[in-house]
Structure 1
Amino acid sequence: MTQTTVYTGKIWTGVADDDWVEAFAVADGCIIATGALHEVEDQVGTPHETIIIDKGIVTPGLIDGHLHLSLGGTQLAHELALDPTDDAETILAKVREWTSRLKPGEWVIGGIIGSGVLPMLNNVEFLEKLDEASHGHPVLLRDDTMHNRQVNTTALEAMGITADSSDPEGGTYVRDDQGRLTGALWELACAVAEGVAAGSHVDPQERQVKALQTALEHLSALGITTVQDAATMLPHFEGLAALEEAGELDMRVIASMPIRPFIEDGTVGEELFAAGMEFESEHVKPRFAKFVLDGVPTTHTTALLNPYKCNHSSHDPNFRGELYWTLDDLVAALRRCAELGLNAKLHATGDASVRQALDAAEIVRQDAGGGPAMQIAHMSFISEQDLPRFAELSVAADACPFMWFPSPLTEGVGAFVADETMANIWPFKDLLASGAVVAGGSDWPVGLPVLNPWLGIEGMVTRQAAADSANSSDSYGDRTVNINQAITLPQAMAAFTRESAKALGIAEETGTIEPGKSADFIALDRNIFTGDIKDVHNTQVTRRWVAGQGS
């Protein structure tokens, strides 16, 4: 016999920004009724259980539309934790201490190094200090963009890299003015180091499963019920499949599979697409191809419409970065995705790369099938003339990482990107006014090593660093980031529920509390809509339900 449960309390459904109900009923994992308590009970009719949630409020479960499950979980479960505010000496001290825990020859792997700190490490003097601190262990440290790495000489030797080695396609082994390796790796050079480091693990499968378990437990405690993994490789699929088979996966995972070589070594493109499809399951949904159209600002690999700031005497004052794809190749690949039934998630950190993505969308939207569903990820910078094109072309704005307030990453980017461009960063208000879908994502572990979606939700409204957080207002005072683009709290909550569901193509399944949807919802310890907006980041999730199952 089907068990019906009625939940009653103060319930924000997310159907509209101000839509509240007193109760809803759940049966067979789905919501079957909403409304006033007496209306819901009358509609249910049959004997049922009633659960009263008399503290705080109930909302739809959060959807993180952009994160890296394996990277984030591996960092939590296995690696040296660095804070983006750590300076060179602090990093060296942490590496030195970490080596005492390792077996001979074991790699020191960790992060994250702040974007403002990374350039200061790019020299042979720091490389020598890192060699000394690591006591003969190979070292691989990731930056806060996850597009760059800092390694030591032992790691370079393990990679087979010398000063005479050619740079890999799409990447750079950074050298100083005298041609000496500094230990900095940019873009696809990182994949070489990651591949060698991964090959040193004694039991990669066990390590992967532990990383994913750790990530999912962490996300669950934060009230997240669905995620879009932004770069799902074969080992990640295998780890998720192991958890699904063991009955330990209670989160919907929308997979995005890299179409070209990625900063993590492994199978990509149509070979990965075909393999990934075999892992489709109740919770794992291989739905997207992942495109990378440019890099990151801190290594001058973001494609911009305005020139970069001049950072040194040899810098080209007209340099704007470079696009990784030609428009013709991008259009052809998007059409192929449509043929394969895949949607497209496009990394575009600069306004030039965003424009290229929109130009490609405009072309494929004229095809008979209209091309694939598309998200443009990061989209920190958007030319004013391109803002209305998101809605016009049905392209979702995948907003991440949630650094739309003062932070080490924002500060680091501002050192490279023109002030005029930085002044218009994260134009959420204008995008929403144009009718665009703005989906929230963390990009965890990019930006901040500690994931807190409530920090991102608060920051969309205040555009300030939260007090008593890792990016404390003690450091930034009352400074804001493009405060004119602040949005309302209901709009910010929608970005992490209803609108993310739309961007992921699962709006018929989840994202709101309404009949016919999966019973994915959470109970909070407070009413965030009536309390102090600057206290939202302290919100605690008291319980979480996925398909009606509580945890």
Structure 2
Amino acid sequence: MPEDTASPFPDTDHRIDLVVRDADVRTLDAERPRASAFAARDGRVVAVGTDWDIERLVGPGTRVVDAGGRMVVPGLVDVHTHLGLGGQAAAWELTLPPASGVTEILGAVRDQARALGPGEWVVGGTVASPVFQAVGNTGMLAALDEVAEGRPVMLRDDSLHNRWVNSRALEILGAGDATPDPPGGRYVRDAAGRAVGLLLGAPATDAELAARRAVADPRVRDLRSARTAVEILNSVGVTAAQDAAMMGAWLDVFTELDRAGELSAWVVASMPAREFVESGPVGTDLFDSAPRRRSPHVRPDFVKAVLDGVPMTRTSRFLEPYRPVGGDEGGDGGFTGDSLFTDDELALLLEAAVERGLHAKLHATADGTVRQALDAVRLMRERHGAGPVFHLAHPEFVHPDDVPRFRELDVVADASPALWFPNPMNGVIARQVQEHYMERVWPLRELREAGTSIAAGSDWPVGAALPDPWLSIETMVTRRSPDPLFPGSLAPEQAVDLATALAAHTVNAAEAMGLSHETGRIRPGLSADFIVLDRPLFDIPVQEVHATQVLQTWFAGRQVYTRGTARATVS
């Protein structure tokens, strides 16, 4: 009987660039959830099947990756990060360990100050929320001045919304005891009216701009920062990311890398409606520049609006008052926080986005602004139908009545950062809000059961010096910290299963970012973006998922990161 030589994949030819075999492939593709091998040509997957099927496609020059039975999944997709800021922090700035107290921070600032040249700022972070609150006095300002030895200092808090600066920085900013608070922010003062060096909201952007003006060669610095950011993401398995507030200067940097063939990730940009953290053209001036800043892997497809602040500093907008704290705004006045947009302003912004064919990511951390955002989306759906995509970022607190509205209005829950477990930031939040709020914080299970698409992101460098999707995946399931310093669980009834958590970091996020035809699954026609893992996620205790290591990361069919374990040969 003659041997059957017909290809099981008639749409392929024998010019196959890459074959992955002997793998436990979790494709995240509903049509074929599991396989043991796949093949790629010109950076795209062309066939998925068994080892026997795919082996027949190997030809001269095919690179063969033998995964040794290891788990292979699509490249992870981070729906909410800050690439420029994260890369900049990793490449150039002072990195403070998460548990740093005042003594450690002051010592690190002194060491950094002594290592810098004339005119340079000490810039870094992050300062944990409990520490940030504790340094709000003139004594700590004097201590920061002393270790800085005359240099300006700017340290970011773990929300990225606020800064701790010293007197030299305040002098450069032209900010003193009598300086009026700007719209959207304030200078923290003590009971005697003296500025203590804490900048909340808008003044933080002024400090960032002042520090940047002191940089000798911003272009060289930014290119290195961008490369560093993508290298870090690739090392933890991320091959696509949405920058949650990308200014035009950063768009130009990533587009330049892409056009030079140096970019190893898909980048979706959210262009700010107003200045946030960084300074530069925003709003329609920035939106209208999107077409010329687009490249094959850089997609400036979203606008970004920050509707409120963060609950740690009582700048989120709730439906119910914050806990009383005595004679300030959280006391007898029943303070609920403010939105940074009026309803009319938000509607005008979303109209401007839709008429340009853009989508929107809306920062709303508390139930008041969540409701405001959903009301605005309802208006857009009534006017424009199902076309535009809307993300609601950081929905920590959602009123039960609003949970089903996410699905009804087709709103993506941008569930980042990875803070759905006990940690110092949540401890500070619990002291600000009424007790019942923490019982349902990050209501992921309710949203999932209501049919909401949950897409996860790191929010890097907010909250952590490096992105950690594996910690995020694990704690979506456990609602516990793997660190014994933070025992207990956080709203455990809101846990989801591992499959949901993995989908939130792959296929769901890709769909939310408009990349479902490019990445997020291992499927014929999509980019060959995948990672080889050191452990089988579904066959180990979920409490071990956070320790997962990526052995190889591939983007568009080329290897962009390796730990040197999986073998590759060329036929």
Shorter-chain TM range is over 0.9
Question: Could you tell me how far 1:316 is from its partner in structure 2?
Answer: 2.6
The CA RMSD over aligned residues, in Å, is 1.7
For residues 241 and 332 of structure 1, what CA distance do their matches in structure 2 show?
A: 29
Question: Could you tell me how far 1:3 is from its partner in structure 2?
Answer: 3.0
For residues 276 and 335 of structure 2, what CA distance do their matches in structure 1 show?
A: 24
**Aligned with 1:420 (options 436, 444, 451):** 436
| Secondary structure of the corresponding residue to residue 476 of structure 1 | coil
Aligned to 2:222: 208
Matched, 1:7 2:20: yes
Runs of 4+ more than 4 Å apart: 44-50
**Aligned with 2:202 (options 174, 180, 188):** 188
Tell me which amino acid in the other structure corresponds to 1:491.
T
Alignment of 1:63-462 (within 5 A): 63-314=77-328, 315-317=330-332, 318-370=334-386, 372-462=388-478
- Cα 1:45–1:264 change in 2 (3 A) is closer
Contact between 1:114 and 1:412, CA under 8 Å: does it hold in 2?
no
Matched, 1:502 2:511: yes
For residues 388 and 159 of structure 2, what CA distance do their matches in structure 1 show?
A: 27
Q: 1:458-502, CA deviations, whole angstroms, 9 ceiling, x for partnerless residues?
A: 111111111xxxxx12x123x011111111111111000011011
For residues 244 and 258 of structure 2, what CA distance do their matches in structure 1 show?
A: 19
Contact between 2:205 and 2:278, CA under 8 Å: does it hold in 1?
yes
More displaced stretch, 5-14 vs 399-408: 5-14
For residues 408 and 330 of structure 1, what CA distance do their matches in structure 2 show?
A: 33
Tell me which amino acid in the other structure corresponds to 1:182.
V
For residues 310 and 81 of structure 1, what CA distance do their matches in structure 2 show?
A: 35
Question: Could you tell me how far 1:336 is from its partner in structure 2?
Answer: 1.6
Matched, 1:533 2:542: yes
TM-score, length of structure 1 as denominator length: 0.95
Question: Could you tell me how far 1:368 is from its partner in structure 2?
Answer: 3.8
Question: Could you tell me how far 1:512 is from its partner in structure 2?
Answer: 0.8
For residues 26 and 435 of structure 1, what CA distance do their matches in structure 2 show?
A: 34
**Aligned with 1:523 (options 517, 528, 532):** 532
How many residues are aligned here? 543
Aligned to 2:557: 548
For residues 331 and 98 of structure 2, what CA distance do their matches in structure 1 show?
A: 28
Contact between 2:84 and 2:226, CA under 8 Å: does it hold in 1?
yes
| Secondary structure of the corresponding residue to residue 383 of structure 2 | coil
| Secondary structure of the corresponding residue to residue 367 of structure 1 | helix
TM-score, length of structure 2 as denominator length: 0.92
Matched, 1:53 2:67: yes
Contact between 2:19 and 2:58, CA under 8 Å: does it hold in 1?
no
Aligned to 1:476: 486
For residues 386 and 428 of structure 2, what CA distance do their matches in structure 1 show?
A: 39
For residues 30 and 241 of structure 1, what CA distance do their matches in structure 2 show?
A: 21
- Cα 1:368–1:64 change in 2 (3 A) is closer
Q: 1:232-287, CA deviations, whole angstroms, 9 ceiling, x for partnerless residues?
A: 11221222133224322111000010011222111101111123431111111101
Contact between 2:16 and 2:58, CA under 8 Å: does it hold in 1?
no
For residues 362 and 500 of structure 2, what CA distance do their matches in structure 1 show?
A: 23
Tell me which amino acid in the other structure corresponds to 1:101.
A
More displaced stretch, 175-184 vs 48-57: 48-57
Aligned to 2:33: 19
For residues 437 and 97 of structure 2, what CA distance do their matches in structure 1 show?
A: 27
Aligned to 2:568: none
For residues 18 and 279 of structure 1, what CA distance do their matches in structure 2 show?
A: 36
Aligned to 2:495: 486
| Secondary structure of the corresponding residue to residue 403 of structure 1 | coil
- Cα 1:112–1:45 change in 2 (3 A) is closer
Identity over the aligned pairs, expressed in percent?
42
For residues 191 and 409 of structure 1, what CA distance do their matches in structure 2 show?
A: 22
Question: Could you tell me how far 1:61 is from its partner in structure 2?
Answer: 0.4
For residues 429 and 446 of structure 1, what CA distance do their matches in structure 2 show?
A: 24
More displaced stretch, 150-159 vs 297-306: 297-306
User: Which consecutive residues of structure 1, in runs of 5 or more, have no partner in the other structure?
Assistant: 467-471
Q: 1:51-90, CA deviations, whole angstroms, 9 ceiling, x for partnerless residues?
A: 3211421001000110001111111111111133222222
Contact between 2:259 and 2:295, CA under 8 Å: does it hold in 1?
no
Question: Could you tell me how far 1:381 is from its partner in structure 2?
Answer: 0.8
User: Which consecutive residues of structure 2, in runs of 5 or more, have no partner in the other structure?
Assistant: 1-13, 561-571
Question: Could you tell me how far 1:450 is from its partner in structure 2?
Answer: 2.5
Contact between 2:28 and 2:520, CA under 8 Å: does it hold in 1?
yes
- Cα 1:368–1:80 change in 2 (3 A) is closer
- Cα 1:32–1:109 change in 2 (3 A) is same
| Secondary structure of the corresponding residue to residue 382 of structure 2 | coil
For residues 487 and 375 of structure 1, what CA distance do their matches in structure 2 show?
A: 20
Aligned to 2:5: none
More displaced stretch, 337-346 vs 313-322: 313-322
Aligned to 1:469: none
Contact between 2:121 and 2:154, CA under 8 Å: does it hold in 1?
yes
- Cα 1:180–1:403 change in 2 (3 A) is same
